[in-house]
Structure 1
Amino acid sequence: MHITKTILPLSCGWLLFFFTTASAQSAGYRARDYGIPFDGAPGPFNAITDVPGVTVGHTTLISGNGPLVKGKGPVRTGVTAILPRGTTFDPVYANWYTLNGNGDMTGTHWITESGFLETPILITNTGSVGTVRDAAWQWMDQHHYYTPFYHDYWYAYPVVAETYDGIFNDINGQHVRKEDVFHALDSAHGGSVEEGGVGGGTGMMCYGFKGGIGTASRVLDKSAGGYTVGVLVQCNHGSREQLTIAGVPVGKALRDTLPYSIDKQPLGLASTPPREETGSIIVVLATDAPLLPGQLKRLAQRIPLGVTRTGGIGGNGSGDIFIVFSTANPHAFSNTENRTVTTLPNDHINALFTATVEATEEAIVNALFAGRTLTGINGNTVYGLPTAAVIRILRQYNRIPTK
């Protein structure tokens, strides 16, 4: 589920803030449900939450229409939270990788040094990283989500990543607040994960269509250990012409259709100038395979192979930053005591590489299939992926059987 924070004017001139709950994305909207041929076997939810213990929460902020009034709106943004073991504090082995660094992910220096992720992961818009980071610290303090190094003294470096939604959202108004971060963390749950324009992905665009949050998973064969790999993306990258689905150059076929508009000017590839690779993609990968930080780095370095399957190139204006963690080896973290852990031989890691690529590719396509047409500040509009046209194109390439 996700929360939509709606702002309504009252007759007395005040604003009323309330939260409404929306159900998870109904079956039939996800790419696989249309018969798109993805490699590999997904878990029961085909989501990052198929990795046991992982939970996800969203807070979605939508209000206002019309011209941009800085500090007031329109608002099209939010925050997404991923907790490796739910509300249980038990740091996990982790690592990260950046393909192109025109973006931000806080807290990564200590992950590199220590090998552990000690905080939740949050994703939001570029202008709200500081607010979300501070709120995460306060949430951890209130929930005792830490191990003190002396009495009740503790420290942490919350991991907060971002992509830019200023085309549709009053980004400089910094509308994400502490209570929004708390709600995303407190409402995080397992099971189905809502996708598309929700949470941190509310105001995002991907390959010239509505983007946002997407997720997918893969379960390895028992002969490869039976481990699960789950991926969640916040995609805001790519140009229309780059989009590739199931190996088919869908974007080239759709480049002259549904041009998005910014400040009343159409910016499809049929007009000039096209908007090329000025966005970003954040990828969070979880697995229950027993991997050490160095091995997790190797998984993180395979994420770009999944991105490129959908057409991304990690262009100069793109922030492509990826974080990976393992929920295996519970209680491996300690400030004072030795620990004994289990690790997977490197010779057995290829299946995890494959699962990483496959789940990343499908998560991005899922985000696109879940995207819905969005109008934001100044009437700026981006259309949802025309799924019927995509299916028709895939059939022309014999990737989906003709009915």
Structure 2
Amino acid sequence: MQTPRRVRDLGVTVGTLSTGPLNAVTDVPGVRVGQTTITGNGLNTGVTAIVPDGWAETLPAAVAVGNGYGKLVGSTQVDELGVIETPILLTGTLSTFRVADALISWVLDRDPRITSRNPVVGETNDGHLSDIRRRPVTPDHVHSALDTATSALPAEGCAGAGTGTCALGFKAGIGTASRVLDHGVVGALVQSNFSGLLTVLGTPVPAQPIDADGNSCMIVVATDLPLDARQLGRLARRAIFAMARVGSDYAPGSGDYAIAFSTRRTPGFADRDLRCPFQAVTESVEEALLNSLTMAQTTTGFQDRTVQAVSHDLIRRLG
């Protein structure tokens, strides 16, 4: 079994912009990530929590929908008001609603004055490798992911909400990356679980298709640039565009969503200066998606189904 390696460690350099110190969404100041992983007895699932400082006072945000065949709880209010007011959580499809309920409980415990909050929870379908009908995620799993969130490099591949996901014919999962600009940082975290033909720096990597229901991708983009909700929506759309660079076929049954937020509440960024942030989000998402694959391990799960990790030797030859 090969040791998980980030794609950059395999000689593949995506784009031209500089990465942050961790090359992760947690390079954005004030952004933390926590995860709970559930494995064994036919289960491969979990929770990934993106926790920005200042969420309780709301942060500017926007959602982009590439294909709406999925669930992103709370997306309509984000679209209407242009803010998030809770952390952002990711999980498996049928656990979405239990995770949303547990997130609300966690938020209410922190402020006795709250009478209304909009939880933001996204999902992809991990039912190929996990007994999804059991809906095994509990409030303890959710609260653990939230309470243990740190600014360290998040675990990638078979971790948290990516424990049971597959993409582009291979085992996939969680991936992250970042880019540093003159006046701030753009970072991305992905939960990859979509179909297509894996493409690395423009070169296709053939794989056997996986006979699995539910092909989706959740992308979370964070920045400390002073962007308003409209500008964040433009970043979120570019995040979905970036899926094409790794070979997504944007299948009809795929729920492809991006949510972008800023840790700065006071906007002040000119549209004419968005060229570099657009490039940063495209590069970050492309590299995060590749990391979600190269950091994953071959996994045997529900009903003894096995999904292979992508060969690192093959990736090295493409670098």
The 2-side partners of 1:127 and 1:317 are apart by: 16
Give the deviation of 1:211 after TM superposition: 0.6
- 2:105 corresponds in structure 1 to 138
Give the deviation of 1:154 after TM superposition: 2.1
**1:35-77 deviation per Cα after TM superposition (whole angstroms, max 9, x unaligned):** 112112110000000000000000000122xxxxxxxxx1111
Selected match of 1:80 from 31, 44, 48:
48
Q: Closer, same or farther in 2 for the Cα pair 1:238/1:277, shift >3 Å?
A: farther
Counterpart code for 1:202: T
Q: Closer, same or farther in 2 for the Cα pair 1:277/1:345, shift >3 Å?
A: farther
Give the deviation of 1:91 after TM superposition: 1.4
Q: Is 1:295 aligned to 2:231, yes or no?
A: yes
Counterpart code for 1:163: T
Instruction: State TM-score, norm by structure 1.
Output: 0.76
Q: Is 1:93 aligned to 2:60, yes or no?
A: yes
Selected match of 1:34 from 10, 17, 24:
10
Q: Name which structure has the greater RCO, CA cutoff 8 Å, separation 6+.
A: 2
Counterpart code for 1:357: T
Q: How many pairs does the alignment contain?
A: 316
Selected match of 2:29 from 44, 52, 55:
52
Contact 2:4 2:294 in 1 (8 A): no
The 2-side partners of 1:304 and 1:79 are apart by: 22
Q: Is 1:117 aligned to 2:84, yes or no?
A: yes
Instruction: State TM-score, norm by structure 2.
Output: 0.95
The 2-side partners of 1:276 and 1:305 are apart by: 23
The 2-side partners of 1:49 and 1:292 are apart by: 21
| DSSP 3-state at the match of 1:301 | helix
Give the deviation of 1:143 after TM superposition: 1.8
- 2:258 corresponds in structure 1 to 322
Q: Is 1:181 aligned to 2:138, yes or no?
A: no
Identity of aligned residues (%): 41
- 1:195 corresponds in structure 2 to 156
Q: CA RMSD in A?
A: 1.6
Contact 1:369 1:387 in 2 (8 A): yes
The 2-side partners of 1:143 and 1:314 are apart by: 39
Give the deviation of 1:313 after TM superposition: 2.8
Contact 1:50 1:217 in 2 (8 A): yes
Give the deviation of 1:342 after TM superposition: 3.6
Q: Is 1:106 aligned to 2:73, yes or no?
A: yes
The 2-side partners of 1:35 and 1:292 are apart by: 36
| DSSP 3-state at the match of 1:320 | strand
Contact 2:108 2:114 in 1 (8 A): no
The 2-side partners of 1:389 and 1:290 are apart by: 40
| DSSP 3-state at the match of 1:49 | helix
Identify, as 1 or 2, the structure richer in helix. 2
The 1-side partners of 2:312 and 2:193 are apart by: 19
Selected match of 2:280 from 355, 370, 376:
355
Counterpart code for 1:76: N
Q: Is 1:370 aligned to 2:315, yes or no?
A: no
Runs (4+) off by over 2 Å: 274-278
Counterpart code for 1:287: T
- 2:39 corresponds in structure 1 to 62
The 2-side partners of 1:378 and 1:114 are apart by: 44
Contact 1:204 1:236 in 2 (8 A): yes
Give the deviation of 1:377 after TM superposition: 1.2
**1:312-362 deviation per Cα after TM superposition (whole angstroms, max 9, x unaligned):** 132101000110000113xxxxxxxxxxx3410101111101101000000
Contact 1:310 1:361 in 2 (8 A): yes
The 2-side partners of 1:366 and 1:90 are apart by: 32
The 1-side partners of 2:14 and 2:264 are apart by: 27
Q: Closer, same or farther in 2 for the Cα pair 1:386/1:107, shift >3 Å?
A: same
The 2-side partners of 1:209 and 1:28 are apart by: 14
The 1-side partners of 2:201 and 2:305 are apart by: 30
Q: Closer, same or farther in 2 for the Cα pair 1:95/1:372, shift >3 Å?
A: same
Counterpart code for 1:63: G
Q: Closer, same or farther in 2 for the Cα pair 1:276/1:245, shift >3 Å?
A: farther
